């Protein structure tokens, strides 16, 4: 359903966004233009395509789809989510400052602190759900507020509109990493953000077969800079990958609907389990970000984390080794259910004291709940928890 009478509903956009029948053959699916260059009739006389780092028709269709899905004007596709982030950070200069969340995706934290910190950019990590903390970190050098909501893996929620409102009038722009929600559940540009970033690798691709990232903005000046960097630095996505994602997008609304249903079933089931002390899922009314999530999202998504009652590393390792349908792997957002142990996997690059402060303890387990039958998923978790806690008391 659409909130804006001028834009089609999300499901309609998912099926049609960016895709026009091929003008030369009428092919209903955008062809995979596996070409690096394009013939010119005379010097400078071409059909809008010169070289595939700069433009490729398959990538153009996908970029238009990204823009439409996020209700923005300009879409950009990159070789990975981190390549997309890297491009945004390259629009900053030495002396600039960035405010971000203290429960950030591990790879984003690494990019900020081990790469861009060396180029004279200062990063402040605060609790973005605390507007006073954001205000305290804001100064005349702040150029970016980097939001991730819901966060990975603690499912913390940031009020996008409130942060956008807070920095309004300053030179800071607001970027939202919308990977966990997907454009089906949250549209940050509608809430006042200046740019949206996705790890397309996750829900947008949806089938665990592509690594890709994207950016969407309606800010013409910033888009111009991003486009120049995309071409100058060259971290573009290839046409075959673009085709796979165009195909994946057509079922995004259906997949997200099932991810939400299954995520809720798993969260409610685990909340009653004696081996678990806490389930982290924004759909629970006692979740600290519940009201904001209910307001700014169209569903609570398929990501669920839980803390074991004994908060013990060995028990956690036994649980992730015992599931049969939930496969032990990094990543998320594919049709198949995955299980992970953030402290030793996705968040291993974050120092123990830092990660434990936000709740990423040894007994935390993260689930990417897929689109299988919910009853089978619940049964699998039950047997794994029973196997892991047998004889441990």
**Residues of this chain that bind ligand PLP (CB under 6 A):** 80-82, 105, 107-108, 148, 152, 177, 179-180, 199, 201-202, 211, 213
**Shortest distance (Å) from residue 151 CB to ligand PLP:** 8
Q: How many CB atoms lie within 10 A of CB 36?
A: 10
Q: Which is nearer to ligand PLP, 97 or 177 (CB)?
A: 177
Q: Is 105 one of the catalytic residues?
A: yes
**φ/ψ of residue 176, rounded to 5:** -120, 125
Q: Which is nearer to ligand PLP, 52 or 77 (CB)?
A: 77
Q: Catalytic: which of 105, 109, 173, 203?
A: 105
Give me the DSSP letters along 312-359. -HHHHHHHHHH-SSSEE-S---SSS-EEE-TTTTTTTTS-HHHHHHTT
**Shortest distance (Å) from residue 111 CB to ligand PLP:** 9
**Shortest distance (Å) from residue 177 CB to ligand PLP:** 5
Q: How many CB atoms lie within 10 A of CB 359?
A: 17
Residue facing ligand PLP at closest CB distance: 81
Q: Which is nearer to ligand PLP, 57 or 213 (CB)?
A: 213
**Shortest distance (Å) from residue 81 CB to ligand PLP:** 2
Query: Using CA atoms, how far apart are residues 157 and 289, in angstroms rounded to an integer?
Result: 5
**Shortest distance (Å) from residue 332 CB to ligand PLP:** 6
Q: Catalytic: which of 38, 53, 110, 190?
A: 53
Q: How many CB atoms lie within 10 A of CB 391?
A: 4
Say if residues 181 and 226 touch (Cβ distance below 8 Å): no
Query: Using CA atoms, how far apart are residues 149 and 101, in angstroms rounded to an integer?
Result: 9
Q: Which is nearer to ligand PLP, 88 or 388 (CB)?
A: 88
Q: Catalytic: which of 177, 194, 241, 362?
A: 177
Query: Using CA atoms, how far apart are residues 125 and 123, in angstroms rounded to an integer?
Result: 7
**Shortest distance (Å) from residue 12 CB to ligand PLP:** 27
**Shortest distance (Å) from residue 175 CB to ligand PLP:** 11
Say if residues 116 and 85 touch (Cβ distance below 8 Å): no
Tokens for 188, please give them: 């940050």
Q: Is 143 one of the catalytic residues?
A: no
Picking from 67, 156, 167, the residue whose alpha carbon sits closest to that of residue 105 is: 156
Query: Using CA atoms, how far apart are residues 204 and 252, in angstroms rounded to an integer?
Result: 7
Q: Is 177 one of the catalytic residues?
A: yes
What value, to the nearest 5°, has the Cα angle with vertex 197 and ends 111 and 335?
A: 100
**Which contiguous run of DSSP H or E holds residue 77?**
strand 74-78
Q: Which is nearer to ligand PLP, 200 or 276 (CB)?
A: 200
Q: Which is nearer to ligand PLP, 82 or 343 (CB)?
A: 82
Q: Which is nearer to ligand PLP, 304 or 384 (CB)?
A: 304
Give me the DSSP letters along 125-184. EE-TT-HHHHHHH--TTEEEEEEESS-TTT-----HHHHHHHHTTSS-EEEEE-TTTHHH
- Which residues form the catalytic set? 53, 105, 177, 202
């Amino acid at each position: 359903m659409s909130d804006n009478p001028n834009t089609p509903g999300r499901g309609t956009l998912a099926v049609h966004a960016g895709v026009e029948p091929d003008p030369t053959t009428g092919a209903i699916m955008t062809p995979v233009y596996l070409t690096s260059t394009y013939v010119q009739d005379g010097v400078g006389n071409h059909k809008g395509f010169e070289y595939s780092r700069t433009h490729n028709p398959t990538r153009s269709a996908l970029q238009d789809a990204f823009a439409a899905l996020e209700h923005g004007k300009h879409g950009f596709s990159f070789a990975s989510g981190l390549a997309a982030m890297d491009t945004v950070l390259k629009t900053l200069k030495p002396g600039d400052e960035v405010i971000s969340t203290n429960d950030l995706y591990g790879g984003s934290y690494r990019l900020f602190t081990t790469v861009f910190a060396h180029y004279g950019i200062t990063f402040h990590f605060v609790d973005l759900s605390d507007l006073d903390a954001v205000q305290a970190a804001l100064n005349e050098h702040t150029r970016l507020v980097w939001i991730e909501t819901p966060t990975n893996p603690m499912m913390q929620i940031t009020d996008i509109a409130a942060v956008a409102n807070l920095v309004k009038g300053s030179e800071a722009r607001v970027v939202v990493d919308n990977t966990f929600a997907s454009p089906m559940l949250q549209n940050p540009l509608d809430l006042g953000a200046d740019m949206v970033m996705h790890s397309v690798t996750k829900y947008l691709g949806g089938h665990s077969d592509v690594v890709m990232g994207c950016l969407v903005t309606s800010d013409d000046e910033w888009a111009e800079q991003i486009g120049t960097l995309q071409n100058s630095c060259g971290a573009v996505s290839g046409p075959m990958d673009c085709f796979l994602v165009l195909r994946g997008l057509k079922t995004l609304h259906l997949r997200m609907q099932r991810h939400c249903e299954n995520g809720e079933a798993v969260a409610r089931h685990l909340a009653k389990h004696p081996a678990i002390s806490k389930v982290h899922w924004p759909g629970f009314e006692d979740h600290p970000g519940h009201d904001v999530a209910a307001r700014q999202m169209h569903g609570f998504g398929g990501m669920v984390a839980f803390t074991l009652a004994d908060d013990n590393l060995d028990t956690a390792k036994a649980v992730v080794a015992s599931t049969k349908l939930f496969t032990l792997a990094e990543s998320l957002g594919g049709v198949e259910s995955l299980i992970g142990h953030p402290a030793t996997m996705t968040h291993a690059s974050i120092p123990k004291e830092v990660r434990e402060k936000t709740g990423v303890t040894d007994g935390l387990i993260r689930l990417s709940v897929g689109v299988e039958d919910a009853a089978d998923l619940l049964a699998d978790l039950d047997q794994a928890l029973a196997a892991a806690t047998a004889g441990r008391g």
